[in-house]
Amino acid sequence: MDTLQLLASNRSFGGWHRRYQHESEVNGCTMTFAVFMPPQASENNRVPVLYWLSGLTCTDENFMQKAGAQRIAAELGIAIVAPDTSPRGEGVANDEGYDLGQGAGFYVNATQAPWDRHYRMYDYVTSELPALVEANFPVNTRRSISGHSMGGHGALVCALKNSDRYLSASAFSPISHPSQTSWGQKALTAYLGDNQEDWVDYDASLLFRKVKDTDARMPVLVSQGLADEFLQEQLQPEALQEAAKAVDYPVTLELHEHYDHSYYFIASFIEQHLRFHSRVLHPSQ
């Protein structure tokens, strides 16, 4: 555990919420993440992990404080790991906008200066962080992934590119087709350059086109509020649904009247998402 510095520890629903810092090799800076470890977890009973990717402006704290997920994770015996949404700190490139730079890593490996020096959130989330978690906590290698908004985009992209690493994926209000919407276009241009062919790997609706008949398919659940202030401009879940349908990928899109883009929406449906993931994370139950 000497690679991990404990920042905070709170008893929660019989388990523990803890925040850690560590030196990230792939991002070349100090990264922060949070873990909820359910009461069932021990060396003799390693539990599966749900990775949660947060949205624009968030840190590791938003989901842990606001989603109300620990109650159900404690019941189901699932650990939750929530990374920060970008590299941070002095010397890490940033932008004045809330939608680029620190707090807005978009879960890509940047190729363009100045971002390419630290912004490798895709590798961080899919490889470095799981390896670190699996080496230091009583968890097994059964993983699912979920997220909100920018993090919903991240969860879908990570899952679609790694059907061998995740058992299920879900998203709340994801940026479903970033190459066609303004948040996504701004970020993908900055991080990857303006050749849109380089964006395909980070656009869930386009990634479905790459799925082959023989590829494994995992269950995917997407929840979207119909009063979401970003629905038409930024999210476009119908593009995701059409793309999935074209390749016969089992994406369930649920639309919820009156719900908006806030954590009140996430809190209202996180139980459903955790039970959805639990069915594949705990196949024998």
Active site residue 198: no
> Which segment (67-75, 131-139, 192-200, 237-245) binds its own copies by CB under 8 A?
67-75
Active site residue 228: yes
**What is the Cα 55 distance to its own chain's centre?**
9
Residues 6-35 that bind its own copies (CB under 8 A): 10-14, 17
- Choice from 5, 264, 275, 283 touching its own copies (CB under 8 A): 264
Burial category of 90 from C-beta neighbours within 10 Å (exposed 0-12, middle 13-18, buried 19 and up): exposed
DSSP string, 94-119: --SSTTSBTTB-TT-B--STTGGGT-
Residue 114: count other Cβ atoms within 10 Å of its Cβ: 14
What counts of helices (H) and strands (E) characterise the chain?
Answer: 9, 9
Across the beta sheet with 47-53, what order do the strands follow?
5-12, 15-24, 29-37, 79-83, 47-53, 139-148, 168-172, 220-225, 251-256
- Choice from 117, 262, 280, 282 touching its own copies (CB under 8 A): 262
- The Cα angle at residue 7 between residues 6 and 12, in degrees rounded to 5: 90
- Choice from 172, 183, 259, 276 touching its own copies (CB under 8 A): 259
- Choice from 28, 46, 68, 127 touching its own copies (CB under 8 A): 68
> Which segment (5-13, 40-48, 84-92, 122-130) binds its own copies by CB under 8 A?
5-13
> Which segment (44-52, 203-211, 234-242, 262-270) binds its own copies by CB under 8 A?
262-270
- Choice from 56, 225, 240, 281 touching its own copies (CB under 8 A): 225
User: Does residue 116 interact with its own copies by CB under 8 A?
Assistant: no
Size of the chain in residues: 285
C-beta of 163: minimal distance to its own copies in Å? Answer: 33
> Which segment (65-73, 126-134, 152-160, 168-176) binds its own copies by CB under 8 A?
65-73
Pairing of strands 15-24, 220-225: unpaired
* Catalytic pick among 261, 273, 277, 278: 261
> Which segment (106-114, 123-131, 177-185, 251-259) binds its own copies by CB under 8 A?
251-259
* Catalytic pick among 170, 228, 273, 278: 228
Residue 193: count other Cβ atoms within 10 Å of its Cβ: 14
* Catalytic pick among 149, 168, 170, 223: 149
**What is the Cα 15 distance to its own chain's centre?**
22
Q: Which residues contact 191 (CB under 8 A, 6 or more apart)?
A: 106, 108, 110, 111, 112, 115, 119
C-beta of 23: minimal distance to its own copies in Å? Answer: 27
Alpha-carbon separation of residue 123 from 28, 77, 110, 118 (angstroms): 12, 27, 10, 11
Nearer to its own copies, 92 or 231 (CB): 231
Active site residue 149: yes
Nearer to its own copies, 11 or 212 (CB): 11
Task: Give the catalytic positions in this structure.
Answer: 149, 228, 261
Binding site for its own copies (CB under 8 A): 10-14, 17, 65-66, 68, 70-71, 225, 227, 256, 258-260, 262-265, 267-268, 271
